Amino acid sequence: RMSRHAKKLRDHDINPCLAETDATTKCMDDNNYNKDLCTDYFLKYKNCRRFWHEIMMQRKRSGVKPEMPTAEERKKILESMG
């Protein structure tokens, strides 16, 4: 059974980097946990976290709720950026 915290991390509206998380985990599984072979995945995850953290901080400063855009909103934000 998943803990409440684990469930939150699996929620697309809460975790904007779910795809990157899963890809990194799969890479690690497929490569016997050799981090050197998964550097690109770690980088993509890190960039994803940094990007959405920035968006979240901007929204917080502007008083926008929720601070983390929903999965649907995030999709529109990314589409608007090309």
| Residue 55 belongs to a domain | yes
Number of domains in the chain: 1
pLDDT 10s digits, 20-69: 999 999 999 999 999 999 999 999 999 999 999 999 999 999 999 999 99
pLDDT of 82 over the 90 cut: no
| Residue 76 belongs to a domain | yes
| Residue 3 belongs to a domain | no
Give 9's pLDDT tier (boundaries 50, 70, 90). Answer: confident
| Residue 63 belongs to a domain | yes
Give the range of the structural domain holding residue 69, as residue numbers without chain letter. 11-80
Q: Cα torsion for 80, 42, 40, 22, to the nearest 10°?
A: -70
Find out whether 12 and 71 touch, Cβ atoms under 8 Å: yes
pTM score of the predicted model: 0.83
| Residue 35 belongs to a domain | yes
pLDDT at site 64: 95
Find out whether 41 and 27 touch, Cβ atoms under 8 Å: yes
| Residue 62 belongs to a domain | yes
| Residue 16 belongs to a domain | yes
